[in-house]
Structure 1
Amino acid sequence: MKKRIVTSCVIVSLSIALFSCKDKAKEAETKEAETPTVVEVSSETYTVNTEASTIEWRGFKPTGEHNGTINLANGSFEMTDENIAGGNFTVDMNSIVDLDIPADDEKNAKLVGHLKSADFFDVEKFPTATFEITGIEDKEGKTMLSGNLTLKEKTNNITFPINVSQENDTLSLSSETFTIDRSKWDVRYGSKSFFDNLGDKFINDDIEITVSVKATK
């Protein structure tokens, strides 16, 4: 009987592990910063509608997770022959919002305050982050967007899958959900990449990101 119980526990544990791996978003390919694309003079500029655009985020730790949004401050795409030729975007780091805790709960303000503090994104010192497109290509049936992400004055080039559509003078870009490893941008709090005595008090390095952007000519 004891052996049967142990076997059942092992099977359940393996099942949980398998499902966890299956559901985890893929990390964006990350490498050193690259030179931005050279945009042709004949390109058309599409300006980002910040009210209709958003970045969703999700962070994880052993005891649970948090999710929310962050806004774009400004941005634009350069289009050549109806294809994205370049672009750059500024993220307002002061706009971080948490959505899983009621807004009037003091724990919400405490969490957001902590994310904005020097422990995490230090928004007083680094009020914005930027993303500058360095390339776009079709790969294995998907459109892959590459760009230099600068956060806390650290720059890495990331590549992730997107969907692009155009209707009249409006351009819509949405990403698949992907992850970035915050340790590569020196976001250290609770990270096993920097501290080895955290036990189960660590916070995952991976942050899930989903981008939705609308821009008009």
Structure 2
Amino acid sequence: MIIKLIPLVLLSIVGCAGRDNKNAVPASLVPSIVPGTIHPTEKTQINLAKSIVKWKGTKLMGAGSHSGTVKFKSGHLLFSNGQLAGGQFEVDMTSIYNTDIPLSDPVPRKNITFHLNSDFETNQYPTSRFIITGVQKRDGVFTIEGTLIIKGIENKITFKAVKSSDNVYSAEFSFNRFDWEIGENGTWLEKKLVDPLIHLNVIIQT
């Protein structure tokens, strides 16, 4: 099943955030989430080979951008009477990969990879997590509430997701990297050049 996310996992992924991504809706930070009364009865592991997080970051208010992927390390969905009720996912932050710079340009690719690993401090925080704490469905659209953990920092967020087939969920949303202190160790110029939003397109398949 696929769940597209915009604020990661996770993940989390920096480089830029774009005005041209009209499908990306900022995930809402929520002060608290009241657990639902549904008790899941079925646990389904996600297909790690077919599930993926696509990221995009921008700079100078969308004038430039970088994009790529990051892989899931583990994950499962919870169901109650056949309906999505919860889940938990772990993203391998060391798998951050750039897709917009050609393989024929090794130096820029090396630089962006170093930059991303530095911003996410992957040596100290090699994984990010998302835990679903609430699910509501209306007119075929899911409202997902949960806790996004990046660099050990927890924030509760909410975003929309859809089911595109029997075993695929997807979600697109964006999150403000500063809420997770992503790129906080960069220079003043780097902080100003790189836009605050990170856009995610998360696909979860079982």
Structure 2 residue aligned with 1:158: 157
Structure 1 residue aligned with 2:87: 87
| Counterpart-to-counterpart distance in 1, 2:185 and 2:124 | 20
User: CA shift at 1:136, angstroms?
Assistant: 1.1
1:86-121 deviations in Å (ceiling 9; x for gaps): 11000000010000001342211210111101xx10
> 1:190, 1:198 within 8 Å by CA — same for their partners in 2?
no
Per the alignment, do residues 81 and 33 of structure 1 end up closer, same or farther by CA in structure 2, a change over 3 Å counting? same
Task: Provide the TM-score with structure 1 as the length reference.
Answer: 0.76
Is 1:180 the counterpart of 2:175 in the alignment? yes
Structure 2 residue aligned with 1:52: 50
Task: Provide the TM-score with structure 2 as the length reference.
Answer: 0.79
For structure 1, list consecutive stretches of 5 or more residues without a partner in the other structure: 1-19
| Counterpart-to-counterpart distance in 1, 2:72 and 2:56 | 17
Is 1:145 the counterpart of 2:144 in the alignment? yes
Overall identity of the aligned pairs, in %: 29
| Counterpart-to-counterpart distance in 1, 2:20 and 2:193 | 19
Structure 2 residue aligned with 1:211: 202
Larger relative contact order (CA 8 Å, sep ≥ 6): 2
Per the alignment, do residues 207 and 142 of structure 1 end up closer, same or farther by CA in structure 2, a change over 3 Å counting? same
Per the alignment, do residues 21 and 76 of structure 1 end up closer, same or farther by CA in structure 2, a change over 3 Å counting? closer
> How do residues 67-106 of structure 1 correspond to structure 2 at under 5 angstroms?
67-105=67-105, 106=107
1:117-167 deviations in Å (ceiling 9; x for gaps): 1xx100000000000001111358732111100001111111111112553
The count of aligned residue pairs is 185
Secondary structure of 2:30's aligned partner? strand
Structure 2 residue aligned with 1:113: 114
Higher-Rg structure is: 1
For structure 2, list consecutive stretches of 5 or more residues without a partner in the other structure: 1-18
| Counterpart-to-counterpart distance in 2, 1:211 and 1:200 | 25
Higher helix residue share: 1
> 2:148, 2:154 within 8 Å by CA — same for their partners in 1?
yes
Structure 2 residue aligned with 1:7: none
> 1:31, 1:157 within 8 Å by CA — same for their partners in 2?
yes
| Counterpart-to-counterpart distance in 1, 2:185 and 2:123 | 20
| Counterpart-to-counterpart distance in 1, 2:165 and 2:91 | 23
